[in-house]
Structure 1
Amino acid sequence: MHPRTTEKIAFLDSEIAGLRTRIGSGGNSIQRAKLKMLRDIREDYQKSIDVAARREQGEAA
């Protein structure tokens, strides 16, 4: 796992929260597309953390 992955996730979380605030209950299609893109990127980073954790558990066993 890249050493800054958790920092990247924290950054994405703040970007997602800010965008949600700006969008409110409406928002335009570009904002919604950007929100989906940020969520997808965040999910990919989270998956890499999960894989690294499982790998470490396997090595410790």
Structure 2
Amino acid sequence: NVIITGNFDNWEKKIQMDKDPLTNIFISRILLPINQKIVYKFVVDGIWQNDPMLPEEIDMQGNKNNV
């Protein structure tokens, strides 16, 4: 169970990702606003996670997020 959430959905954890059976990669199509920095995280089986291979930054509350 993988969810992607971020400032684009007010961190509401509504966007489920689907596993591609050919690549075993989780994917989702999301309409994102133009000219806005996108900050996000993944929720994998209920646990908040970043992708360490992608850029990260720490927000004003001390949370590390992908950007």
- In which range does the TM-score fall when normalised by the shorter chain? under 0.3
Which structure: greater helix fraction? 1
Which structure: greater strand fraction? 2
Report the structure number with the largest CA radius of gyration.
Answer: 1
Asked which structure has the greater RCO (Cα within 8 Å, sep 6+), the reply is: 1
Q: TM-score, normalised by structure 1?
A: 0.26
Q: TM-score, normalised by structure 2?
A: 0.24
